[in-house]
């Protein structure tokens, strides 16, 4: 099936630093999504992108839908301790959604 | 309820036994998905229900896995003759349409 390559696998950063993670695919997606998962919980939708080239912000989060429709990135600015968690990208074509393996973010106070 | 509810939250079963996992989606959500998440891994698609349409079962890993959705609401994922490699967190999610925005907290299945 379609494979999403998400990188990096993990990040250790200092509070206040900016973070960037990305996802690439061999296939085109119509929608790109970014989720955050806290321990013992299900993923929570952060940002949804519907149009190639779209750049969307949600507070300190910014995500872009790549022009080729095969990639997306997520930036977190001025990280805080509660940003800790696992971030997943997902690509969707209608109801077919595929997830990346996740980026585990650790923020040191 | 306010969110997607899954039960049980934890299940330990002996190899070879059958298990049933339950998902109560948000009322009115026509789309329901099951995913499996192994330790430290991403989400693996299992099955998708949309309204009264035939479900998309393309992600079910073997014929030991089956799922049904009764009355367009509650869904049950059944795993027969469980194997140790079935150990994972099973996540259910529902959506009215568009991107998945509401996941349950999952059922952690451990096969011993």
CA distance A45 to A61: 12
Q: What is the pLDDT of residue A1?
A: 47
8-state DSSP, B56 = B
In whole angstroms, what separates CA A36 from the centre of its chain?
A: 8
Is the pLDDT confidence value at A16 over 90? yes
Query: For position B1, what pLDDT does the model report?
Result: 52
Neighbours of A80 (CB within 10 A): 12
Q: Is the pLDDT of residue A26 over 70?
A: yes
**Residues B2-30: tens digit of each pLDDT:** 799 999 999 999 999 999 999 999 998 98
Residues of chain B with C-beta less than 8 angstroms from the C-beta of A101: 41-42
Share of chain A above pLDDT 70, in %: 97
Which chain A residue has the Cα nearest residue B10? Answer: A40
The predicted-structure confidence for B38-82, as pLDDT tens digits, reads as follows: 887 788 999 999 888 899 999 999 999 999 998 879 999 999 999
Contact state of B99 with A99 under an 8 Å Cβ cutoff: no
Q: Is A94 on the interface with B (CB under 8 A)?
A: no
């Amino acid at each position: 099936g379609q494979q999403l390559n998400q990188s990096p696998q993990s990040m250790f950063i200092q509070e206040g630093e900016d973070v960037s993670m990305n996802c690439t695919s061999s296939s085109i997606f119509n929608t790109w999504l970014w989720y955050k998962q806290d321990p013992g919980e299900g993923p929570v939708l952060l940002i949804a992108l519907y149009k190639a080239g779209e750049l969307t912000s949600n507070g300190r989060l910014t995500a872009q839908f790549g022009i080729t429709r095969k990639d997306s990135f997520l930036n977190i600015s001025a990280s805080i301790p509660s940003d800790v968690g696992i971030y997943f990208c997902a690509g969707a074509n209608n109801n077919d959604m595929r997830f990346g393996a996740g980026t585990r973010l650790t923020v040191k106070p | 309820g306010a969110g997607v509810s899954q039960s049980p939250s934890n299940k330990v079963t002996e190899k070879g036994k059958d298990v049933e996992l339950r998902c109560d989606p948000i009322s009115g959500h026509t789309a329901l998905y099951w995913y499996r998440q192994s330790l430290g891994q991403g989400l693996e698609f299992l099955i998708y229900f949309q309204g009264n349409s035939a479900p998309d079962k393309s992600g079910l890993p073997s014929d030991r896995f089956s799922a049904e959705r009764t009355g367009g609401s509650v869904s049950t994922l059944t795993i027969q003759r469980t194997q140790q490699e079935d150990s994972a967190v099973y996540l259910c999610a529902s959506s009215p349409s568009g991107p998945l925005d509401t996941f349950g907290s999952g059922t952690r299945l451990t096969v011993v």
